Amino acid sequence: MHPQRLGLILAVMLVLIPVAGCITLLPKPAKAPLVVAMRADPNTVRLAQQSPFSIGIGLPNLPTVLDGNGIAVMREDKTYAYVEGLKFSASSAISIQNVVLETFDRAGAFVSAVRAVTIARPDYEVHFDVSDFQVTEPQGRKKGVARIEASARLIDAYSGKPIASRVIVGEAIAPRGNVTQPARALELATRDFALKTMNWSLEAIKADQASRAASAVK
């Protein structure tokens, strides 16, 4: 058979090969990531006394590197990486806000707790500038640590007057284990952070009200 004719026949045969036979040449689809929703501690102790005021929880500000829904890990060289195949169900900012808001609700700390900058207008608002929201890698026998650190600001929602500010830190151990462990450790750290924020807010509002009462008597 003439070489040119043979080449033409081979080319036609290649075209007629079923597409299914070529699927192996395509990259395999990536596995869907595990998704973790951060929640407050369901066993949060309800306070014996409730503040008569309402409070709004602001959406935290975070550095861009920490503001997605990936779980950031601080490596030994102080650079960030993300845990492969693991995500939060919402952005870091919304996840943190959810835990703080739910903690306030479960504890019954205030007459009501809402998201700040909504149609509801609370008596006070608390806002956060988050500088840390990450997990450190375990090193040898040393366990990793999940950490959230933020500058918290309490303001009078009506006047916009700053009432108090404080740096608040929440931490939790992040041991090796289940693939979701880094996310769960950050959840525990954020629960710790939320409780500290709640207690600080209650004390700051109590001091503010006492100061107003003293000023009214003069």
* Separation between Cα atoms, residue 20 and residue 23, nearest integer Å: 5
Q: Which residues, 6 or more positions from 213, have their beta carbon under 8 angstroms from its beta carbon?
A: none
Helix ranges, 17-91 (H): none
CA–centroid distance for 7 within its chain:
61
Q: Note the pLDDT tens digit of each residue in 169-178.
A: 999 998 877 8
Domain with 192 in it: what CATH number?
3.40.50.10610
Q: In the chain, what's the furthest Cα-to-Cα distance?
A: 114
Residue 197: which domain range?
A: 37-217
Q: Which residues, 6 or more positions from 14, have their beta carbon under 8 angstroms from its beta carbon?
A: none
Q: Which two tokens stand for residue 210?
A: 């006492």
Measuring CA to CA, how many Å separate 11 from each of 2, 127, 128? 14, 68, 66
**Is residue 31 domain-resident?**
no
What is the reported pTM? 0.83
Residue 111 confidence (pLDDT): 96
Residue 118 confidence (pLDDT): 74
Q: Torsion angle, CA of 90/94/96/101, rounded to 10 degrees?
A: -120
Residue 27 confidence (pLDDT): 59
Q: Does residue 26 register a pLDDT over 60? A: no
Selected residue with higher pLDDT from 22 and 212: 212
CA torsion through residues 49, 45, 102, 183, sign: positive
Q: Which two tokens stand for residue 61?
A: 């500000």
**Is residue 11 domain-resident?**
no
Q: Does residue 196 register a pLDDT over 60? A: yes
**Is residue 125 domain-resident?**
yes
Domain count, the chain: 1
Average pLDDT over residues 209-215: 90
**Is residue 16 domain-resident?**
no
**Is residue 9 domain-resident?**
no
Q: Does residue 202 register a pLDDT over 70? A: yes
**Is residue 3 domain-resident?**
no
Average pLDDT over residues 123-143: 90
